Amino acid sequence: MPADITEPLLCVSGLTVRSTTGTTLVSGVDLELREGEALAIVGESGSGKSLTARSIIGLVPTGLHAAGSIRFRGEEILDLPERRRARLRGAQISMILQDPFTMLHPMRRCGAVITETLRTATGSRLRKDERRREAVRRLAEVGIHDERVAGQYPFELSGGMRQRVAIAAALAQNPQVLIADEPSTALDVTTQKEVLDLLVDLQRSRGMALILITHDLRVAFSVCQQVNVFYAGGVSEVGPAEELEAAPAHPYTLGLLLAEPPADRRVRDLVNIAGTVPTPDAVAGRCAFAARCDWATDVCRSIAPRLVDTEDHRRVACVRTDEIAGEMRETRERYETVDVAPSLAAVGTGLVRARGLQVTYPPRSRRDAPMQALRGIDIDIGPGESVGIVGESGSGKTTLGRCLTGLATPSGGSLEIDGTDAIAYAACSRDERRKLRSAVQMVFQDPYSSLNPSRTVGAALGEALAVRYGKDVGPERIGALLDRVGLPAGYAERRPVALSGGERQRVAIARAIALEPRLLICDEPVSALDVSVQAQVLTVLRDVREELGLAYLFITHDLAVVRQIADRIYVMNKGEVVESGPTHEVLEAPQHPYTQRLVASVPGNDAGTPSAIAS
Amino acid sequence: MGTTTIGSVATRRRFRVRPGQALTALALAVVVAALFLAVFGEVIAPDDPRRVDLNAGSLGPVSGHLLGTDQLGRDILSRALAGARTAIFGPLIIAASTVVISTVLGLVAGYVGGWTDATLSRVNDIVYALPPLLVAIVVVGVLGGGFGLGIVILVVLNIPASFRSQRAASLEQRGLPYIEAARVLGLSRWRIMRIHVLPNIMPVVSSSFFIAFTYAFVDLSTLSFLGLGVAPGTPDWGRMVAESRILVFENPWAALAPLLLIVATAVSANLVGEAVDDRIAAKGRGR
Amino acid sequence: MNSLALYLLRRLAAAVLVVLVVSFLIFCCLYLAPGSPEQAILGPQQATPEALATIRSDFGLDDSFVLQYWHFLDGLLHLDLGRSFQTGESVGSGITSRLGVTVPLALGGFLVACVLGIGGGIIAAQRRGRMSDRALGTLGVVAASTPAYASGVLFLYVFGVALGWFPVSGSGDGLSDRAFHLVLPIVTLGLVGAASMFRRTRVAVVSALERDDVAFARARGLSSREVLQKYVLRHAMVMIATSAGVILIFMLAGAAVVESTFDLDGVGSYLLTSINDKDLPSVQGIAVVTTALVVLINLAMDLLYAVIDPRIQRGAAAD
């Protein structure tokens, strides 16, 4: 294939993806990937990052249409007929998806999946023994040295192992480019780092180009040399990772950087970007970020900025880059130096007291053993205290929260909430149950299913208030409740469909505090939200606690988030509490090996210290 | 086979004609007309559908008998118009009863779970394994209960499929955070089922209704065709086809008219059902 | 595999139980049926009390309910289904002599249903949203909503009477004549099954096409054909197999309707005649045989799943 020597390996220009109904999802994306380079595409949901990747590999979902230009080794590939396009896939450009639990065929053995695309020089399939040998070799390359895995089915492997198998399968034909779409997002924190490290190793040892799609700037910086920031279907900033990290030139990049709560300290004011990500069509003909930008002027609102080359090989889509650089630097310094000591509450007791709490789920099938979700844990929460529970999936942290709300029934131990024995909600008297309900309320993870889609916000809140007051209440109470979580009273008329994720979560918080509980359980309340919105919800949670003086049990896998909200944390692993103490002590000097591993796996936390102070 | 399935870059721009909408409109018109006939068919019939006139038997279309007569000289047009009543009301009753019963049971089984669910589901599975039409033929045939028994049997035999979808939908709802939030608020089971679960499984309920209607329509008219449904002499589409199919040479309309009405009604009801499903699905997507 | 054998044994025991329960229910049903059996046996003619008494003792009608059921069960064990009230011939041979019509009809219909339904379903799923998909879908709706007897009469009229291509009634003699007579009935029966098969296949294939593992297979460069065979159909198989079982069972009921529409002398029309003649032993015999068949088909389907999906064998919960 003759290629111009200056031409990059892959060159995307003016890529636009529209649906058949005319909605724009990606508008005019430009992208350059050089041989052997690791490039990140960073963006929140709706930024068009995944569709860009899908367009590159030629797998745009039905009902969507990609236009523009994608050149691979100088050859235009966007309009290639499907047959020729299929020949590029796997052999030249390959891809792994987000979820290792759905990516592998559940009824095919791992070895078969890895070797199924391999052909001999003459195009025939490999012999059985060759396939076996290849499978073992490929598995070894991704760090699986157990040969038996080749003969196993995906459901017999852990998530991290599955993702490794998927990587081996994607790389079977030694492609030049690997696209990894959020490869670590569905995995546990500690496994995330392993998979990302593996990708970096493979990219370097194979001299392969990597396109990493992620919503997490820290992940992008730790893996890639070149970072593309996407916003609302377009590119807002491109540059080398270190420079972008040191001095973002686009206000959105700065916003994203600041919105990521730091894991190493507690800040007084969490930075959030007001509003939500717009659709590309809503911001056509102007700067997509203008509505949320502190520096926006009339110019920003009347023309769409183009990506312009600045110094240091960077490209920024902002007309005011040069004028605002100084102010942006100041803003950053202001936020990054502010450090608030944690409000040190004494170890609280009295509100919740759990001793030897156990939960056993019945086996899923006859052959399985019963599942021990909680293996006898002790928890104390004092009135007005904010307690964090940190752990990965399967740690039992969610089960603990469900026990406190009566959604799960403990099989052993003792549990006392606000002086009432709460070990068996079902066995409680009516009054006791009512007392427990008004003592403990909960906010759930998924904002999209936290609210009944067929009822208005007002109806949802009114229902909760009716429980509190024993009768239906007027709209002014509902309005006051909405105001408390920073939403206008007019939202009472809306249905959940008309709300963004962050707004829904605020309504869910309002519903929970309608009963004026003494303890609010927050089960991963921000993990399903975009970074720029997370801080909005965390701020609401902080404010609510300050005003109402209620206690929190904050369940999360995210150390940075827990640092911002909890005074004291429990670290859980496999149904047990492995470590507990004041948040800053546990996170700064972890004692238990598991906690140490957890802390070390925070992206960008290689040496145990943050790498953000480079400028 | 070049461009198939997901992912093929949809390079050609599809022009958007919607023949589907015209078809749906037509189907809706047929359903409305069929319902009208079911109520007023006998009133607007030009002749008494039961009047026998052996002197004018097996006539082809003539003046006075637009679609001719059957072998007993009864006016085909009048019988076809009047026959809508049993052919449509029967299945409507079946579909409505099936859906009401299965929704209540499915809601309880799916939401309450545990023993209640296990028992209901087990019984349901057994009934589900029975081939409805065959059971209806044997039971109605042997007990000789006619139309009424046919309706009861078909309700019982149609419940399982509908129960399954309603149960599955309720089960899915049960695990959703807003249901759990309602439980944490301390709302009663009945209130949660009524206010929070039921409205959100309505799409499944509506689709079950149309499915049950189609099955009931086909099965009930088959019973009539086999002489096991309505009483002899009653104008009923299925029965008319059976009685008149030997008249293929003398007056094919005697069998074809009710037959085409049956097909048109069933197809239209089905198409309307699908359109309703699509509409609801499209509404559900816009979150 | 030991546990598989145990599973099989348990299922088989359950199957026998179901047949027993159903046979008892049928027996009750017949016992409760209006009209006296001896009248049914003699038909409309007047009979002397002595003649009636002879018949009653001949068919054991004076025995208690339990004893009668016991006789019936005892006969079942010896594969004896009793004698027809109407003809006095053995019900067993009455059924077997008519299998020559019913078996080819049901299997033929099943084949037509599978070929048209699965083939159409796959094509429609791959072209989902396009004109060809909509057209196939509408055809499917038409076929599903048309009762078998209606399409049968329509076919008879169009191909038998108007065009004169096929015989209008009868089962035909000899192999080729029989086959010729069975063409329209088989198509009639097959079309109804095809509609249901089509719908289920399309849903199964569409949901398989939307799976991550299919996208991943495509991303690795597997050809469309490989993706279809190794991935999409493999996923859709479980649902298609379920549908096939349902449709095979449906063919039993459908055959009765179609046989009666086309005046074929098969087991289905035997059942309908027996019902009309109040020939209770025949009804009972056919019902028990059919129940056994339904149970067997269901059992075969369950075994098929275990073969298709390794997760079931290894005792893991699906997905």
ipTM of the complex: 0.83
Q: Is the pLDDT of residue B10 over 50?
A: no
Q: Is B13 on the interface with A (CB under 8 A)?
A: yes
How far from the centroid of its chain's Cα atoms is residue A143's Cα? Answer: 25
Cβ burial of A343 (10 Å; 0-12, 13-18, 19+) is exposed
Q: How far is C232 from chain A (nearest CA, A)?
A: 10
Mean pLDDT of C282-305: 84
Residue ranges of domains in chain A, CATH in brackets: 35-59+89-247 (3.40.50.300), 258-336 (no CATH), 352-600 (3.40.50.300)
Cβ neighbours of A89 in C, within 8 Å: 218-221
pLDDT > 90: percent of chain A: 40
Name the residue among C68, C51, C66 with its Cα closest to residue C280: C68
pLDDT at B7: 34
Angle, CA B174 vertex, CA B173 and CA B175 arms, to 5°: 90
Of A601-605, B127-131, C287-291, the range with the lowest mean pLDDT is A601-605
Of A115-119, C124-128, C242-246, C277-281, the range with the lowest mean pLDDT is C277-281
pLDDT > 70: percent of chain C: 88
CB contact (8 A) between residue B218 and residue C145: yes
pLDDT at C70: 82
Q: How far is C150 from chain B (nearest CA, A)?
A: 6
Q: How far is B155 from chain C (nearest CA, A)?
A: 18
Q: Is C229 on the interface with B (CB under 8 A)?
A: no
pLDDT in tens, A15-56: 999 988 888 999 889 999 999 899 999 998 888 999 999 999
Amino acid in the structure at residue B17: V
Name the residue among A15, A20, A101 with its Cα closest to residue A50: A15
Of A293-297, A483-487, B258-262, C47-51, the range with the lowest mean pLDDT is C47-51
Sheet containing strand A24-33, strands side by side: A24-33, A10-19, A64-72, A75-76
Name the residue among A149, A184, A142 with its Cα closest to residue A167: A142
Q: Is the pLDDT of residue A269 over 80?
A: no
Q: Is the pLDDT of residue A341 over 60?
A: no
pLDDT in tens, A455-511: 999 999 999 999 888 888 888 899 999 999 989 999 999 999 888 888 999 999 999
pLDDT > 70: percent of chain A: 94
What is the number of H-type helices and E-type strands within chain A?
21, 22
Nearest CB to A63; choose among C129, C226, C309: C129
Spell out which chain C residues touch chain A, with contact meaning CB-CB distance below 8 angstroms. 128-129, 211-213, 215-224, 226, 230-231, 234-235, 308-311, 314-317, 319
| Band of residue B126 on the pLDDT scale cut at 50, 70, 90 | confident
Q: How far is C282 from chain B (nearest CA, A)?
A: 11
Cβ neighbours of B5 in A, within 8 Å: 62
pLDDT at B240: 84
Nearest CB to B2; choose among A65, A83, A497: A83
Of A397-411, A540-554, B64-78, B141-155, the range with the lowest mean pLDDT is B64-78
Give which of B9, B222, B271 to mutate to test C binding, by max C Cβ within 10 Å.
Answer: B222
Cβ neighbours of B187 in A, within 8 Å: 463, 467
Spatial neighbors of A535 by CB under 8 A, at least 6 apart, are A259, A261, A270, A271, A272, A273
Residue ranges of domains in chain C, CATH in brackets: 91-276 (1.10.3720.10)
pLDDT at C52: 72
Q: Is the pLDDT of residue C289 over 70?
A: yes
| Band of residue A608 on the pLDDT scale cut at 50, 70, 90 | very low
Spatial neighbors of A605 by CB under 8 A, at least 6 apart, are A263, A599
Give which of C6, C205, C213 to mutate to test A binding, by max A Cβ within 10 Å.
Answer: C213
Q: Is the pLDDT of residue C216 over 80?
A: yes
Mean pLDDT of A84-106: 90
Q: How far is it, in rounded angstroms, from Cα C261 to Cα C255?
A: 10
pLDDT at A511: 94
Give which of B12, B170, B178 to mutate to test A binding, by max A Cβ within 10 Å.
Answer: B178
A72, β-bridge pairs: A10, A75
pLDDT in tens, A97-114: 988 889 999 888 999 999
Chains touching chain B through at least 3 C-beta pairs below 8 angstroms are A, C
Q: How far is it, in rounded angstroms, from Cα A482 to Cα A540?
A: 11
| Band of residue C318 on the pLDDT scale cut at 50, 70, 90 | very low
Q: Is the pLDDT of residue A394 over 90?
A: no
- Averaged pLDDT score across all residues of chain B: 82
Nearest CB to C215; choose among A59, A169, A366: A59
pLDDT at A505: 94
Mean pLDDT of B171-182: 91
How far from the centroid of its chain's Cα atoms is residue C136's Cα? Answer: 25
Cβ neighbours of B185 in A, within 8 Å: 437, 441, 463-464, 467, 511, 515
Name the residue among A191, A602, A153 with its Cα closest to residue A394: A191
**Cα atoms found within 13 Å of the Cα of residue A319, Cβ hemisphere only:** 15
Mean pLDDT of A428-441: 85
| Phi/psi of residue A578, nearest 5 degrees | -95, -20
CB A287 within 8 A of CB A319: yes
pLDDT at A205: 93
pLDDT at C122: 94
Nearest CB to B180; choose among A55, A444, A496: A444
More confident position, A17 or C17: A17
Q: Is the pLDDT of residue B98 over 70?
A: yes
Using only C-alpha atoms, chain A has a radius of gyration, in whole angstroms, of 26
Q: Is the pLDDT of residue A3 over 50?
A: no
Which pairing describes strands A234-240 and A314-316: parallel, antiparallel, or unpaired?
Answer: antiparallel
Q: Is B9 on the interface with A (CB under 8 A)?
A: yes
pLDDT at A613: 30
Q: How far is it, in rounded angstroms, from Cα B113 to Cα B109?
A: 5
A vs B, Cβ pairs < 8 A, gives: 100
Handedness of CA B184, B189, B194, B199 (dihedral sign): positive
Q: How far is it, in rounded angstroms, from Cα A101 to Cα C281?
A: 56
pLDDT at B286: 45
Name the residue among B211, B218, B209 with its Cα closest to residue B262: B218
Spatial neighbors of A559 by CB under 8 A, at least 6 apart, are A189, A263, A390, A587, A598, A599, A602
Amino acid in the structure at residue A396: G
pLDDT in tens, C86-125: 777 888 888 888 888 899 999 999 999 999 999 999 999 9
Q: Is the pLDDT of residue B12 over 60?
A: no
Location of structure tokens 């003759």: A2
Structure tokens at C281: 């032993």
- Averaged pLDDT score across all residues of chain C: 82
Spatial neighbors of A48 by CB under 8 A, at least 6 apart, are A17, A25, A26, A27, A29, A230, A232, A233, A234, A280
Mean pLDDT of A148-165: 90
| Phi/psi of residue A413, nearest 5 degrees | 90, -170
Spatial neighbors of B21 by CB under 8 A, at least 6 apart, are none
pLDDT at A156: 87
Give whole-number Cα distances, C177 to C167, C170, C173, C181, in Å: 10, 10, 6, 6
CB A161 within 8 A of CB A144: yes
Q: How far is C77 from chain B (nearest CA, A)?
A: 23
| Band of residue B1 on the pLDDT scale cut at 50, 70, 90 | very low
CB contact (8 A) between residue C249 and residue B249: no
Q: Is C223 on the interface with B (CB under 8 A)?
A: no
Give whole-number Cα distances, A495 to A269, A498, A500, C112, in Å: 31, 6, 11, 49
Nearest CB to A57; choose among C219, C235, C309: C219
Q: How far is A335 from chain B (nearest CA, A)?
A: 35
| Band of residue C4 on the pLDDT scale cut at 50, 70, 90 | low
Give which of A155, A167, A178 to mutate to test C binding, by max C Cβ within 10 Å.
Answer: A155
Q: Is B269 on the interface with C (CB under 8 A)?
A: yes
Nearest CB to B6; choose among C138, C209, C290: C209
CB contact (8 A) between residue A107 and residue C311: yes
Angle, CA C62 vertex, CA C56 and CA C65 arms, to 5°: 130
Which pairing describes strands A177-181 and A209-214: parallel, antiparallel, or unpaired?
Answer: parallel
Give whole-number Cα distances, B90 to B6, B84, B102, B155, C231, in Å: 43, 10, 18, 10, 44
List the single residue in B with minimal CA-CA distance to A85.
B8
Q: How far is it, in rounded angstroms, from Cα B18 to Cα B215?
A: 28
List the single residue in C with minimal CA-CA distance to B212.
C145
Cβ neighbours of A83 in B, within 8 Å: 2
Which one of A81-85, A88-92, C130-134 scores highest in mean pLDDT? A88-92
More confident position, A606 or C172: C172
Spatial neighbors of C263 by CB under 8 A, at least 6 apart, are C169, C170, C269
Which one of A100-114, A404-418, B91-105 scores highest in mean pLDDT? B91-105
- Averaged pLDDT score across all residues of chain A: 87
| Band of residue B105 on the pLDDT scale cut at 50, 70, 90 | very high
| Band of residue A346 on the pLDDT scale cut at 50, 70, 90 | low
pLDDT at B178: 93
Using only C-alpha atoms, chain B has a radius of gyration, in whole angstroms, of 23
Name the residue among A393, A480, A481, A401 with its Cα closest to residue A443: A401
Q: Is the pLDDT of residue C48 over 90?
A: no
Q: Is the pLDDT of residue A171 over 90?
A: yes
pLDDT in tens, B22-54: 888 898 999 999 898 888 877 887 777 777 777
Q: Is B178 on the interface with A (CB under 8 A)?
A: yes
Give the three-state DSSP class for A64.
strand
Restricting to A residues 144-173, those with a Cβ less than 8 Å away from any Cβ of C are 153, 155-156, 166, 169-170, 172-173
List the single residue in C with minimal CA-CA distance to A95.
C219
Cβ burial of A302 (10 Å; 0-12, 13-18, 19+) is exposed
Q: How far is C300 from chain A (nearest CA, A)?
A: 20
| Band of residue A311 on the pLDDT scale cut at 50, 70, 90 | confident
